[in-house]
Amino acid sequence: MFSAFMVNTWLAASMVAVAAGLAGFFVVLRGSTFAAHALPLGTFPGAAAAGLVGVDPFWGLFGFAALGVLLLSRLARRQRNDVATALTLIFLLGLGTLFLSLSGQYAASVFSLLFGEVLGISSADLIPLAAATAGVMFLTAALFRPLLLSAASADLAGVQKLDNGVLEILFLGIIALATAMALPIVGALLVFSLMAGPPAAARALTARPLAAMVLSGALALVTVWAAIALSFVTNWPVGFFVGMLAAVCYAVGRSKKLLFLKKK
């Protein structure tokens, strides 16, 4: 489990978990789980496009993550947020289907992009992952108070002279950055698990925003570590354990909150 070939797996998964947990706190707080679900699915065509033209998949992921943010922000000005998210998802998934069909590696590529390839991380991949993790941590720290205020009340944020449109773009940028780095590790379908389960559990366990955000990152980290360990022991897919444990996190957090409310 801790042999040399697993070192990159542990390091990469740890960075992904921290980034997803921190970004996920604002996803849950702002009620943007649909966007957090759509961006990973809309980002995977970037990796397919990168494979088609023969460049590093990370560049494709980051490029399509940026494209997804631009489309969401532009369409949201003319449509309801849920409609804008759905239209963006449909468009990007259509592109992904085209790129995968042209690449000639359809089945293997789909499986890897949707469910991740946690054992296929090279030492060279750790550098952009570390940079992206640092970016997510910096942005969440720098924008913590503005995003918290705009989530609590858009009108109050306006009184404080905060531009809600700019904050929304920056918020989507944090999600996109976390998504782009997490997708090759846990896959498009499971990024959402890390951005929803641990953060929702953290919010249920504490009402203090900063403590909840830190706890969210910690729970996501424990979730990924436990998933890798259980996968190694059982030889079952890592993705199964990530999704299951993320759901368990939420269930436990919700149960404790309900018990606390009953005692009061």
Question: What pLDDT, on a 0 to 100 scale, did the predictor assign at position 233?
Answer: 87
Is residue 249 scored above 80 in pLDDT?
A: yes
Is residue 47 scored above 70 in pLDDT?
A: yes
d(CA 1, CA 218): 21
**pLDDT tens digits, residue range 177-235?**
887 777 777 776 677 788 888 998 998 888 899 999 999 999 999 999 998 889 888 88
Nearest to 1 by CA among 218, 9, 220, 125: 9
Q: What is the DSSP letter of 32?
A: -
**pLDDT tens digits, residue range 94-124?**
777 777 777 665 555 566 666 666 666 778 7
8 Å CB contact between 176 and 68: yes
8 Å CB contact between 141 and 214: no
Question: What pLDDT, on a 0 to 100 scale, did the predictor assign at position 170?
Answer: 86
d(CA 215, CA 233): 27
Is residue 80 scored above 90 in pLDDT?
A: no
Question: What pLDDT, on a 0 to 100 scale, did the predictor assign at position 54?
Answer: 74
Nearest to 43 by CA among 183, 193, 186: 183
Which one is predicted more confidently, 219 or 176?
219
Architecture of domain 4-195: Orthogonal Bundle (1.10)
d(CA 196, CA 140): 16
Taking the CB of residue 172, how many other CB atoms lie within 10 A of it?
A: 23
Nearest to 93 by CA among 154, 125, 45, 30: 45
Which range of 4-8, 143-147, 163-167 scores highest in mean pLDDT? It is: 143-147
Per this entry, what is the length of the chain? 264
Query: Phi first, then psi: what are they for 153, rounded to 5°?
Result: -160, 115
DSSP 46-95: HHHHHHHHTS-HHHHHHHHHHHHHHHHHHHHTTS-HHHHHHHHHHHHHHH
Token output for 173: 């940028």
Is residue 154 scored above 70 in pLDDT?
A: no
d(CA 19, CA 17): 6
In the chain, % of residues over pLDDT 70: 79
Amino acid at 158: G
Q: What is the DSSP letter of 119?
A: T
Q: Taking all residues of the chain, what is their mean pLDDT, rounded to a whole number?
A: 79
d(CA 141, CA 214): 11
Where are the domains positioned within the chain?
A: 4-195
Q: What is the DSSP letter of 208?
A: -
Is residue 49 scored above 90 in pLDDT?
A: no
- The pTM is what? 0.79
